[in-house]
Amino acid sequence: MSDLVAALEESRTLGFLGPGPVHPHLDHALAFAGAVDADPARALDLGAGGGLPGLVLAVERWPDTAWTFLDAQAKRTAFLDRVVEELGLDGRVAVVTERAEVVGRDPEHRGRYDLVTSRSFGPPAVTAECAAPLLRDGGVLVVSEPPETTEDRWPAEVLAELGFAPAERLTADAAGRPVHLVRLRRRGPVPDRYPRRVGIPAKRPLFPTA
């Protein structure tokens, strides 16, 4: 645990995590595990640059899961590459520097994951569009949410177009602090047109952020 905490402290120093102690960040990341029914064989952390939640889950919760840490910023993935090696995770954790829209069309990644996690990747529409193609049928997307959300933040009719069942809102406990999560389960095919080309999910989101 001490090596993991040291890695998160370095991530904070580099500006990849918010200010303040790292232990609340660690506890928040561990809360993601409560939204998953079974240990995933393959998981992907979307926008993994700061190491949360993927790095924490890989070390502390799922020692047998094969992970992909995906981030488009080379500075962040360079940090993750080094930390993965230092923590002895390089045999089962791959770090990928690429846009999610590109990876979602790569046969090595499309439809391959049991779990996709997202702590602060982007607005709901962008996260859902980029994550859906990565999941296998029955796979789960777990997203960190602000405390106050509304039903139309994740509109069921648009999620269905991406192959998702309606969103499930969960509240987990992180050392006495509530963590708000949304769980989306893939229950149908993802149309070939998703994800759209690089930048379009953010420029022309499928639904507005409520």
Tokens 């569009």 locate to: 129
Q: What is the pLDDT of residue 180?
A: 95
Q: What is the pLDDT of residue 18?
A: 85
Mean pLDDT of the region 121-143: 98
CB within 8 Å of 2: residues ≥ 6 apart: none
pTM of the model: 0.96
Mean pLDDT of the region 25-51: 96
Q: What is the pLDDT of residue 2?
A: 87
pLDDT 10s digits, 51-99: 999 999 999 999 999 999 999 999 999 999 999 999 999 999 999 999 9
The one-character DSSP state at 1 is -
Q: What is the pLDDT of residue 1?
A: 74
Q: Indicate the pLDDT class of residue 166, thresholds 50, 70 and 90.
A: very high
pLDDT surpasses 80 at 117:
yes
pLDDT surpasses 90 at 20:
no
Q: List 171's β-bridge partners, or say none.
A: 180
Q: Indicate the pLDDT class of residue 182, thresholds 50, 70 and 90.
A: very high
Sign of CA dihedral 7, 9, 11, 17: positive
Q: What is the pLDDT of residue 105?
A: 98
CB within 8 Å of 32: residues ≥ 6 apart: 53, 57, 117, 142, 144, 172, 181
Q: What is the pLDDT of residue 181?
A: 97
Share of the chain above pLDDT 90, in %: 90
Tokens of 51: 């190491």
Terminus-to-terminus CA distance in the chain, angstroms?
A: 38
Q: What is the pLDDT of residue 161?
A: 97
Q: What is the pLDDT of residue 203?
A: 98
